[in-house]
Amino acid sequence: MIGVTEDCITLWENNRSKPYVKYCPKIIEFLGYVPFEVDSSTLGGRIKLYRYLCGLSQKDLAYALNIDESTVLQYEKNRHKPTGKTYKKLEFLLQPSTRYTSPKGCVALTSILHFILPDIHLPQL
């Protein structure tokens, strides 16, 4: 169902390893909630939650926003705030009307983003 072995799940459950972010959408869908610590009251937390829901690594999101991967990390830790085009792209992704609360919503969003924001480069999910 998730695409991993039973041994992987056992390791996750026993905190001996963490799942790759690409498995997060299926984990969230299966459990019905987000099992990761995310402070969604901050911009950084909302960015991180969006990544988890969509199964995007920091590298994937950085590529999509045309910024450095370390910049995404700084945003998520609330050390820096996005400006300019990056802020506009994130504002669109995170606004309540387009901020999807399930992994299925992210697939729909990434398929239409290419038309709305032609300079965004999201990987295919």
**Ordered structural domains, the chain, with CATH:** 43-116 (1.10.260.40)
The pLDDT of residue 35 is above 90: no
Tokens 């792209």 locate to 89
Q: Report d(CA 61, CA 39) in Å as an integer.
A: 19
The pLDDT of residue 115 is: 45
Report, as an integer, the average pLDDT of 31-57: 87
Torsion of CA 99, 3, 5, 31, to 10 degrees: 40
The pLDDT of residue 23 is above 60: yes
Closest Cα to residue 106, out of 54, 52, 62, 60?
Answer: 54
The pLDDT of residue 112 is: 43
The overall average pLDDT reported for the chain is 79
